[in-house]
Chain A
């Protein structure tokens, strides 16, 4: 006999997914800092908390110093900064793991609630996790993945039951989203797709559907206007709404920055599986999603093909159609011989889900989260013997080169040029004293700075002119790069430090003669391929 206490103690399936994923992400740990911007966001948050001001001009670079800067992620940065202040990088990993685990556990929960079998819900959730994995890191983007799922779920529910009341929840959520991350524009795309879908059905759909579609269209159009107003509730007001357009207009950056490139299907097999899966259900499934859902999925297929950073969003948005579609396909006559297995599996699924439904307390996840936090407090940055300590990996970031840079006070030897993803690391370590050339914030940098960066790093014929224009005195760059090879050959530059990750060059000037003499005969370190 099950008691009320059991219901509180027993974990539901969603709880189990949450706990498993939480530990999985904790185990990955430092990989959450593989994104070069992670350190920059943390430092900006810390600085914001100490000054109690949202930055309005750039203070971290010398190329856009003092220029207006629209920090569209200020709230995320404040959150990451607070978490870091409490428990350092370990706390940031725990916090990010919580958000990621909540996101996928919520997806699983929503799929189960919609009546999917345990197997299809679990399969699609795992597919979404696999497709999202390369993009999951400790940065504001994780909020966009979660909020896109919440938005889509709410709008999709409205398309089914046409209850306008739940749509109003989107407005406060949009206020939050617009202050957390520039991905808030995805909220407009989701609602806009459903709105266009409803408008299309109202005009050319079946006559019996047109009345309902017109009502849905009106609700969604009203919400869209409301969302516009909600998104303006931020430190910059309506200016923020133009930010996504400005960003997409930066062709040069969009074409060169890794996360904005199209997926490489030689490596990214899961994304291909996801897209081909969508094709398969579009062809074979008789369960037709609403017009709005179809348009929404098409929009996110487009966004994912355009930029790999949008793949997690497609994984979330398409999960409902994918799970429903596959369940429908396996009931087709061609699979009739497998029917006994199917019946047994769905019986088992119902049984387990019913058991899971009874568990209402979610006590276990809370206990696990508190346990991890306590462990952090008494473990000095480690969580038990397996997890942590977490750090910005010296295999990826120029940790030793930075120590050398500081030891020799190279900041006094001229402006710094560095690899794109070292910018965030420099800001993390030095804050407003970083004076970087560029970093992951595309917004503050004028187009010519971005272009200049890629020209120098790509050893463009005009690299020397651009270096001179920005009065570059010190270069910190990956050892295994064409720029390092070039500078090691060039008579105007001297190599003074090299390890397998990064090398440091200074310009041959009379002022630097002492430094160059101090480190004679340095050669580029050997790099493992």
Chain B
């Protein structure tokens, strides 16, 4: 039941709305991933790049992390994210970075939830949708600049949709948003795609709509959107690379080998993305049954996102976030359809009616308790705990660090302790971690900056070693590699173990270290002694 009488002003501040509760739950779920938030090696080089910028007050313009492509032009176009991550890291280490990541992801879900609630949808339909959408986005809950693209993709979609519903003020935020987005993450091109879809749709409307009034409306909106697009182009050009940044996504997509081999760029494997598939099939079902009617903009966006997410798994979370309103409308419409088909007094219909009333009350309360103070205070408190290293006084409240089973934590400790020198060869995943741990003392062979290694042709050479193909030793010789740090369970490790030219000096279940078995390394090999290979544990391994 709606609350009787006006809500006291203090209650508006102190009472949490359903959105606040969901936001805090999301924050808890994201933070419970712990080390999973650092499952990607790139976080390491982003933090170190941010530190470089903070120290030198300049943006890197060429590679200085690697020995393989050193000096190659490379502009840190995600510099603003890197500065934010580095600043957080300076005060609270990885913990603060992890908590901040959790806040940005939860904020993305929060604005999405708020938008869906404002559409007047049943709260329970919205909650079901949020659960499924979160399960899909979880694959990329990582402490990397792309989390900003989560937020801005949702924000831009909502802004354009609300503009389309007649709220012109929402258009004004797009150009400043595009400035921020471009400097935070290369996913900014999505913003232009979204503006483009709405602009083209309105141009079609202006040219071919049935009535004069709609044609006039189309003309006005197309003009607004083209202006917004133009201003956004200008705003996006304000970055370290200038207007050249606008071509970055095209250059990146043109790197075929890179796109075909890097895990985040490959097509989704539906053996492991069951929830994503459920969402795709559900959307298809509700559209076909006519449970949901969508306008031409939504059609274009649905097809665009379906194409992108089929092409590359990195777009799967964005598909889920942008299609969430459609999914919620589908759940709502389907529930109403079933309810209407059931006879009065049917238990399911009774439950539906009760849930409808509860939903109505919750929506009403959410409009009244609209100050979100509780959510803000708790978020601030969690961030402070993060900056304090995850501790509340003497109690450890949070624990976020690099996972020892994913990263060569023990191997790098060993190498540091024994003052390894010379050129090191390793996987791209390890590259970012090595930069985080060893820069500037050690230069890497490769890391997650695909555009740098792909452009120079090194990536192809590196793949020969990564795939353990014939000719692998020529690549190691060409770059005068003295040490190889490799995951213990990969084919290249088996090769190195069999090769008499390499000596195993360290091994744990995650990674192994080999040094070249030549005269230059004999002292080191004698000093460290040869060690036994440690077999990685494997779940359900019968052999």
Contact = CB atoms under 8 A, between A and B. Distances in A.
Interface stretch (B162-170, B194-202, B402-410, B486-494): B486-494
Interface of A is mostly: helix
Given A264-B267, A482-B491, A301 B543 contact: no
Classify chain B: how many residues form its interface, as a range.
35 or more
B341 A203 contact: yes
B277 interface: yes
B495 A279 contact: no
Interface in A228-270: 254-255, 261-266
A168 B498 CA distance: 63
B395 interface: no
Contact of B495 (A305, A458, A486): A486
A466 interface: yes
Interface in B219-270: 259-260, 266-270
Interface string A435-463: 00000000000011001100100111111
A276 B500 contact: no
B132 interface: no
Contact of A465 (B210, B492, B495, B543): B543
A236 to B, nearest CB: 28
B543 A486 contact: no
Contacts of B289: 288, 294
B488 A461 contact: yes
Contact of A486 (B299, B341, B494): B494
B472 interface: yes
B495 A263 contact: no
A264 B266 contact: yes
A503 B271 CA distance: 33
Interface string B510-540: 0000000000000000000000010110000
B392 interface: no
Given A294-B289, A448-B543, A282 B284 contact: yes
Interface stretch (B19-27, B115-123, B304-312, B382-390): B304-312
Contacts, number: 135
A110 interface: no
A175 interface: no
Contact of A488 (B281, B470, B500, B535): B470
B492 to A, nearest CB: 8
B467 A305 contact: no
A230 to B, nearest CB: 30
Contacts of B341: 203-205
B294 interface: yes
Contacts of A451: 542-543
Contact of B288 (A261, A294, A452, A485): A294
Interface of A: 203-205, 254-255, 261-266, 272, 275-276, 278-280, 282-284, 288-289, 294, 298, 301-302, 305-306, 333-334, 447-448, 451-452, 455, 458-463, 465-466, 469, 479-482, 484-486, 488-491, 524, 527
30 contacts: A204-B341, A262-B270, A265-B310, A265-B311, A266-B266, A266-B311, A275-B310, A276-B303, A279-B287, A279-B303, A279-B306, A282-B288, A283-B287, A283-B299, A288-B289, A294-B288, A294-B289, A301-B280, A305-B277, A305-B280, A459-B494, A459-B495, A462-B541, A462-B543, A465-B543, A481-B469, A482-B492, A485-B471, A486-B468, A490-B498
The 5 closest A-B pairs by CB, nearest first: A459-B491, A482-B468, A204-B341, A282-B288, A482-B491
